[in-house]
Amino acid sequence: MPCEQLVPVAPGTDLWVGQHGDPEAPAVLLVMGAASSGLLWPPELVTALSREHRVVVYDHRDTGRSTGGSTYALRDLATDAVAVLDALGIERVHVVGMSLGGLLVQLLLLDHPDRLRSATLFCTGALGGAPGEGSAGPSAELLAFWATMAEPRDDDAELAWRVEHWRLLNGTGTPFDPAEWERTEQRAAAHAGGFRSALPHATADQSGLERGAELASVVVPTLLVEAPADPAYPPPAAAHLAAALGPAARLVTVPGMGHALSGAVLPEFLAVLTDHLSRSGRGARQHGEDATDHEEHRP
């Protein structure tokens, strides 16, 4: 079981945070996508990373066991990530962001580069205003499905809706296993005490995300994982983001990957992620940084 705690980030808003692995090891912060709790990270990925890292997962506002509080902007979710690090006494961290989590990590790269050892972004696109041409956006089929998000459903129908959502997000690059995603959603619902609505994130203020022109200033080593079958951020979304980031970025493709960390792509994804963490760790040591606890954590 993880070490768990609640972290206050705003009046009336507490975030659930779980930690895995050696608390003295270099930290990895996993930042999930919109309307998704930390329980959406595959347990196999968390377990593998925790062998050499202190792995931190958390529930965004209005997901899992976290509360929502007053009206907020999506950009506030990036500030939440910093609040989690402060509460845990973590000075610097490897950060991994999926989908909206990838946009939040870009804000961290711009506003808090001193807190990051490295960044990994996948199934995401560049912040608005980045130079060049991005992808055409989500598929028509996915947009039509999202339009049904707010329709009333009982628990059985909601579970079926979510599994179908994952089928669409998985894309056609790998076989889809509905039982895998049913287990995933049931695990997340058990953690949260039921199925929580995605509407608070869908309707949150999206201002403050038009900062793509600033990405060229990033110097933190950043891995971009291209998911060629992603229907939400299809190619060339990752290549566009890599170009916006410039020399700090390295682009790697996981064949067949869609907008989901399915068992079919997890081994390859984990291989490129752990390689990046290892490269970044070696680079930090070559620059004289000490990854021991007295350096890793705030006093």
Q: Identify the active-site residue in 36, 37, 99, 262.
A: 99
- Residues ≥6 apart with Cβ < 8 Å to 4: 16, 17, 18, 19
- Residues ≥6 apart with Cβ < 8 Å to 238: 122, 124, 125, 224, 225, 226, 227, 251
* Residue that is written with structure tokens 């990957």 in the block: 257
For the question of residue 294 being annotated catalytic, the response is no
The H or E element containing residue 110 is helix 100-111
For the question of residue 20 being annotated catalytic, the response is no
For the purposes of burial, counting CB atoms within 10 Å of the CB of 63, is it exposed (0-12), middle (13-18) or buried (19 or more)?
Answer: buried
Q: Identify the active-site residue in 112, 118, 230, 262.
A: 230
CA-based R_g, the chain, Å: 18
- Helix, strand, or coil (residue 135): coil
Q: Kindly provide the b/e burial profile for residues 71-109, where b requires at least 16 CB atoms within 10 angstroms of the residue's own CB.
A: ebebbbbbbbbbbbbebbebbbbbbbbbbbbbbbbbbbb
For the question of residue 259 being annotated catalytic, the response is yes
Q: Identify the active-site residue in 259, 262, 276, 280.
A: 259
- Residues ≥6 apart with Cβ < 8 Å to 193: 65
The residues annotated as belonging to the active site are 99, 230, 259
